[in-house]
Amino acid sequence: MTESFVIDVRGMTKRFGDHTAVNGIDLQVRRGEVYGFLGPNGSGKTTFIRMLCGLLAADAGEGTCLGFDVIRESESIKRQVGYMTQRFSFYEDLSIAENLDFVARMYAVSNRREAVRESVERLGLAGRQKQLAGELSGGWKQRLALAACLIHNPRLLLLDEPTAGVDPKARRDFWEQIHELAGQGLTFLITTHYMDEAERCDRLAYLSFGNLMTRGTAAEVIEGAQLTTWSVFGPDLQEITRQLRSTPGVGEAVAFGSRLHVSGTNANVLERAIAPFRTERYIWQQIKPGLEDVFIHLMGNSKDNFSA
């Protein structure tokens, strides 16, 4: 059964003192899948990834990652995982080639020189390989980090907010590369805050305050939330937002560009609640809820355990 799952863990838990950062999370990821990991800051995404690759010792949980025991065999897991940290964590005072060479040596990559040369070429940095990593722009740093994570031919890539602070064009290129690699059988677990990126994932999991709120394909996640959403267009949306938020029956009222999305879990209750606001000043339209509507809804539902 574990053959088909690259990641198959149950009950993964991590506590920091009284604070439970990750609370009994189960996760199954298939080979060649691009799995999106979403949730607000501090929801436990990074902690979960760090437990997977042995950077943090789990307090509870069991299962396998790449067929190895996730608790006891982290040394073996590390050898076949590429982990891209949230913050650029290669050596800024080493050149591009030197960084790649260092990583290749750490993983005892055979044909090291060849691997480094190919990697530099694939990056399109052949002419700049002697440039210091610290001098690169955000987008190039990200590409270097990905190249370094790939140099030992890992079977699983754990990418922690790989596209934070990267321009839209570079983000697009990055995702194309990820799908290409996934097509070759590489498995990805990626955390992101961007909805367009979430939509490009094969499947998603949404975390909030250490709890897994929902998972599945984008369609399944939306379906599962059973949300009714209305789009509002008109003048003075600020004011109507404020009023709607204090109206019983309205779950969320959130600005989406120039429009307002008003959601609730009970279609009838919601329709009654918004009735007084449906004047001719505003254009009301029921729409199919998107991922972001669902996530905002989930975020509102989960209780904040920071204040606990």
Number of residues that bind other proteins (CB under 8 A): 21
- Phi, psi at 186, each rounded to 5°: -75, 145
Q: How far is the CB of 135 from other proteins (least distance, A)?
A: 15
First to last CA, the chain: 39
Instruction: State the number of CA atoms in the 13 A half-sphere of 66 facing the CB.
Output: 24
Q: Does 106 bind other proteins (CB under 8 A)?
A: yes
Binding mask 55-74 for other proteins (x = CB under 8 A): xxx-----------------
Minimum CB distance to other proteins smaller for 37 or for 206: 37
Residue 180: how many other CB atoms lie within 10 Å: 10
For residue 152 the two structure tokens come to 């030992």
The reply on whether position 283 binds other proteins by CB under 8 A is no
Please identify, using beta-carbon distances, which residue of 65 and 204 lies nearer to other proteins. Answer: 65
Q: Are 61 and 13 in contact (CB under 8 A)?
A: yes
Q: Is 214 in the site for other proteins (CB under 8 A)?
A: no
| CA dist., res. 43 & res. 10, Å (int) | 18
| Residue 306: count of CB within 10 angstroms of its CB | 8
Return the structure tokens found at 8.
């198959």
SS3 154: coil
Beta bridge partners of 8: 28, 64
Nearer to other proteins, 105 or 242 (CB): 105
78 binds other proteins (CB under 8 A): yes
Q: Is 53 in the site for other proteins (CB under 8 A)?
A: yes
- Answer whether 215's CB lies under 8 Å from 221's CB: yes
Cα distance between residue 260 and residue 283, in whole Å: 10
Contacting residue, 37, 48, 68, 83, with other proteins by CB under 8 A:
83
102 or 194: whose CB is closer to other proteins?
102
- Distance of closest approach, residue 77 Cβ to other proteins, in angstroms: 9
Sheet bearing 19-30, strands edge to edge: 19-30, 5-16, 60-65, 68-69
153 sits near other proteins (criterion: CB under 8 A): no
210 is a contact residue toward other proteins (CB under 8 A)? no
Residue from 107, 194, 256, 282 in contact with other proteins (CB under 8 A): 107
Q: Does 144 bind other proteins (CB under 8 A)?
A: no
Q: Are 293 and 283 in contact (CB under 8 A)?
A: no
| Closer by beta carbon to other proteins, 149 or else 225 | 149
Q: How far is the CB of 40 from other proteins (least distance, A)?
A: 21
Rounded to a whole number of angstroms, the minimum distance from the CB of residue 152 to other proteins is 9
Torsion, Cα 235 238 243 244, to 10 degrees, reads: 80
Cβ at position 107, least distance to other proteins in Å? 7
Contact segment (CB under 8 A) with other proteins among 78-86, 122-130, 182-190, 242-250 equals 78-86
Query: Which residues of the chain form contacts with other proteins (CB under 8 A)?
Result: 50, 53-57, 75, 78-79, 81, 83, 85, 87-92, 103, 106-107
